Structure 1
Amino acid sequence: MKDINDIIMQQAAGGVKLNPDEQRTFLYTFKERVIGLCSIDEANTQELIEHFKEILRQLSKDFSPIFVKISPYIDGQKQILYLKMAQELGCEATIVSEDCSKQYGLVIHTDHPSQVDEPDLYQQFSSLLLATSSTPKKKTSFWKKLFG
């Protein structure tokens, strides 16, 4: 029989957690539930912000429900933008606490194990995210300008 004091202390501390290091790494979710993620630097880019709603729409076609975890290490205004966009699309979104890993900026997950081979958003949606990056113009040489 367990001591009632031990049970009370354990529950007061939040109970027993499975894989707490894995949960801290993936912003308080399990790796097998993750359907999309990106680094803090990628989450701070304008490209991802511009296409975030479209990414969530495409993910919601295959998965339901969708949860968005936002790192506290992303710029403050961008945290709020991601939060608002996710909530507009009916996704539950939260900004996680400071004691999480600084590895990921956004983690999009569901409530059950998923079979996503590559959860990185820039690889999953490369055609969407990388298509907007402008291709540099071909420079004409000084001599062509002068004699052309």
Structure 2
Amino acid sequence: MTDIDKVIMEKANGGAKCSPDEQRKYLETFEERVIADCSVEEANSSLIRSHFKEMLVKIIEDYSPVTVKISPQVESSNQIFYLKTAKELGCQASIVSADCQASPFGLVIHSDQPVEVDEKEMLRHFAGLLHTEEKAALQQKKPSFWEKLFK
């Protein structure tokens, strides 16, 4: 027989969890469910913030359902922005508990089932989308006097 106190304590804490360290690292989900992620610094940057809606729309086209988990280490104004944007697009979104503060991730976008994604890091996964503004700026650069002269 098992100790009744042990059973009661396990039930009170939500039961036994599989890989609790992995779940804390990936903001309360498993690695095989992660579609995209970014660090806390990247989540606080304007680059990810300005393209977040476009990235989330592309993810929603390929996967369903989609959940956005936000680290408590992300700035509060950015947390609210990510929550609102995810809710607008019909995704579940939440700011995870303080238990996950040791996680290196600021944002984790995941599904409720295992997915196969080659590149999970947002900056690499959406490199074409994130760097289109830089390419456009380079293309609009005015030619110098010497470039005009020797053309």
1:1-148 alignment runs, 5 A limit: 1-100=1-100, 101-133=102-134, 134-135=137-138
Q: State the Cα deviation string for residues 110-139 of structure 1 (Å, max 9, x = none).
A: 00000001100111100111222455x689
- TM-score normalised by the chain length of structure 1: 0.88
Say if 2:68 and 2:107, in contact at 8 Å, map to a contact too. yes
How far apart, CA to CA, are the structure 2 residues paired with 1:132 and 1:94? 30
Q: Mind listing any 5+ residue stretches in structure 2 that lack a counterpart? A: 147-151
Matched residue pairs, number?
Answer: 142
Say if 2:24 and 2:103, in contact at 8 Å, map to a contact too. no
How far apart, CA to CA, are the structure 2 residues paired with 1:74 and 1:61? 26
- Which structure is higher in helix share? 2
Say if 1:35 and 1:109, in contact at 8 Å, map to a contact too. yes
Q: State the Cα deviation string for residues 9-44 of structure 1 (Å, max 9, x = none).
A: 111122101001100000010000000000111111
Structure 1 counterpart SS, 2:113:
coil
Say if 1:83 and 1:94, in contact at 8 Å, map to a contact too. yes
Which 4+ stretches in 1 moved above 3 angstroms? Answer: 137-140
How far apart, CA to CA, are the structure 2 residues paired with 1:51 and 1:68? 15
Q: State the superposition RMSD in angstroms.
A: 2.0
Q: Mind listing any 5+ residue stretches in structure 1 that lack a counterpart? A: none
How far apart, CA to CA, are the structure 2 residues paired with 1:40 and 1:91? 21
Q: Read off the aligned partner of 1:132 and give its amino acid letter.
A: E
Structure 2 counterpart SS, 1:118:
coil
